[in-house]
Amino acid sequence: MHGVRKGTNASGMRRYNERLILSAIRRLNGASKAELARVTGLSPQAVVRIIDELDSDGLLFQAEKRTGGMGQPATVYRINGARGYTVGVEIGRNAMTLVLLDFDGQQKAVHCDASAFPTIDLVVERIDRFLHEQLPASLRDPSTFLGIGIAMPWFLGEWRDELGISEDQAEEWRRGDVASRLRAGLHWPTFFDNDGNAAALAHLLCGAGADLQSYLLINLGTFVGGGLVLGGQVVQGRHGNAGALASMPVMADGRRDSLIHHASLYDRDLAVTTAELEGWRRRCTEALAFAISGANSLLDLEAVILDGSLAAEEMADIAAAVERQLAEHAPPDFFAPELRIGTLGRQAAAIGAGLLPLHAQYSPDLSSLFKRS
């Protein structure tokens, strides 16, 4: 049974309570007034008033009637996707993914540009082109277009040896004015986050973590990465870099190393023979199990979500091998988290980036939602 930290009926908190209602409907994928009163702790009268106002403003619509139990059928309300749009962008080291989301977080268009290491000018050009191609001019209005979210590694220009890039290419992304230069070229409200945090937000609001309160997301991409959710909220950390798994220490062949060298796809792509590929999978699963054991011993997680750009069959094989490793080597006081396979794949960070404008404007502290009773 899921409960929530309660909303408030006090005056002056109307905006907060509206955001709480919208977040609850988004995570529940539709809810009745009675359900919303139960999960938010707001009075039935307050919920009725807020729902009616949101409905009148066009943020919600009456989706269906739900029967069951005594009394009249309950009206189920859902988010009105046509109320607004956002663009989400993941700037990767060898690809750039762009998504157009509606107000309900549903994907309306997706585009992936695979290319060499990007420049800031190229990023701005691609975002501008995508926006004009995918969103009609009539919807490119501040009242309808809510902004652009950008997800990228905080250390995009690092790990030069692994990427094979020049010092000049790396230096452009090390400068302190990266965000200012991107904003100057885009001319829309622009929100930034670490790619791992953005992917974790996507899973929290519309992915494999929608019913969870605490999980570690592990993303198998060019470089392994991830994000952390505790108490129904993405954990940023002091420097916005919590859950950055690339540098997480692991033991390999009796020596200390970093997870990036064992669970990243840049290393997998170097495998030429079947034996080399199997060797990478063995190193990957052993390192992932080691990292998960350490993280769970500290955090006592509900689940670990494994996602990324691998094919579904290979991802399932790796997940099964990790579960075997955890079962074979877990200490007696270890409570193994559920291991889930995500379905957002390589688009997770871009989707999360697209949710950033919605999250900033229309979401309260998400620890208010779905806490365990």
Task: Dump pLDDT digits (tens) for 20-58.
Answer: 898 888 888 899 999 999 988 889 999 999 999 999 999
91 and 111 in a single domain? The answer is: yes
Domain holding 101, by residue range, is 84-198+350-361
104 and 225 in a single domain? The answer is: no
The more confidently predicted of residues 159 and 364 is 159
Helix, strand, coil share (%) of the chain residues, nearest 5: 45, 25, 35
* Both tokens assigned to 265: 């796809």
Distance separating alpha carbons of residues 20 and 36, to the nearest angstrom: 9
User: Which of 21, 49, 79 lies at the terminal end of a domain, its last residue?
Assistant: 79
How many separate domains does the chain show? 3
What pLDDT is stored for residue 361 in this prediction? 62
What pLDDT is stored for residue 117 in this prediction? 74
Task: Please state, in angstroms and as integers, the Cα–Cα distance from residue 364 to each residue in 200, 208, 276, 318, 367, following that order.
Answer: 17, 21, 48, 36, 8
Is residue 298 domain-resident?
yes
What pLDDT is stored for residue 306 in this prediction? 97
Is residue 168 domain-resident?
yes
Is residue 205 domain-resident?
no
115 and 227 in a single domain? The answer is: no
What pLDDT is stored for residue 157 in this prediction? 58
Could you tell me if 27 and 369 are in contact, meaning their C-beta atoms sit under 8 angstroms apart?
yes
148-152, 288-292, 328-332: least confident range: 328-332
The more confidently predicted of residues 66 and 212 is 212
The pLDDT confidence band at residue 274, using thresholds 50, 70 and 90, is: very high
Each residue's pLDDT tens digit, 176-196: 678 888 898 998 999 999 899
Is the pLDDT score of 199 beyond 50? Answer: yes
241 and 179 in a single domain? The answer is: no
Distance separating alpha carbons of residues 12 and 17, to the nearest angstrom: 10
Can you state the angle between helices 14-28 and 33-40, rounded to 10 degrees?
Answer: 110
Predicted model pTM = 0.85
Mean pLDDT of the residues in the chain: 86
The more confidently predicted of residues 253 and 245 is 245
**What does the angle CA 11 – CA 13 – CA 15 come to, to the nearest 5 degrees?**
130
229 and 339 in a single domain? The answer is: yes
Query: Domain holding 17: CATH number?
Result: 1.10.10.10
Is residue 372 domain-resident?
no
Of the chain, the percentage scoring pLDDT greater than 90 comes to 57
Of the chain, the percentage scoring pLDDT greater than 70 comes to 88
42-51, 107-116, 157-166: least confident range: 157-166
What pLDDT is stored for residue 39 in this prediction? 86
What pLDDT is stored for residue 364 in this prediction? 46
117 and 33 in a single domain? The answer is: no
Eight-class DSSP state of 336: P
User: Which of 53, 79, 105 lies at the terminal end of a domain, its last residue?
Assistant: 79
Q: What mean pLDDT is predicted for residues 138-162? A: 80
Q: What mean pLDDT is predicted for residues 240-246? A: 87
Distance separating alpha carbons of residues 366 and 358, to the nearest angstrom: 13
Handedness of CA 99, 100, 102, 106 (dihedral sign): negative
137 and 235 in a single domain? The answer is: no
Q: What mean pLDDT is predicted for residues 8-24? A: 73
293 Cβ partners below 8 Å, 6+ apart? 326, 329, 330, 334
Each residue's pLDDT tens digit, 64-91: 888 766 667 889 999 999 999 999 999 8
Query: Domain holding 109: CATH number?
Result: 3.30.420.40
> Dihedral, CA atoms, 254, 258, 262, 268, nearest 10 degrees?
-140
The pLDDT confidence band at residue 134, using thresholds 50, 70 and 90, is: very high
Is the pLDDT score of 322 beyond 90? Answer: yes
260 and 289 in a single domain? The answer is: yes
Is residue 369 domain-resident?
no
153 and 254 in a single domain? The answer is: no
Could you tell me if 151 and 198 are in contact, meaning their C-beta atoms sit under 8 angstroms apart?
yes
What pLDDT is stored for residue 52 in this prediction? 94
Is the pLDDT score of 102 beyond 80? Answer: yes
* Both tokens assigned to 88: 């989400």
6-20, 74-88, 101-115, 288-302: least confident range: 6-20
The more confidently predicted of residues 92 and 71 is 92
The pLDDT confidence band at residue 163, using thresholds 50, 70 and 90, is: low
Is residue 9 domain-resident?
yes
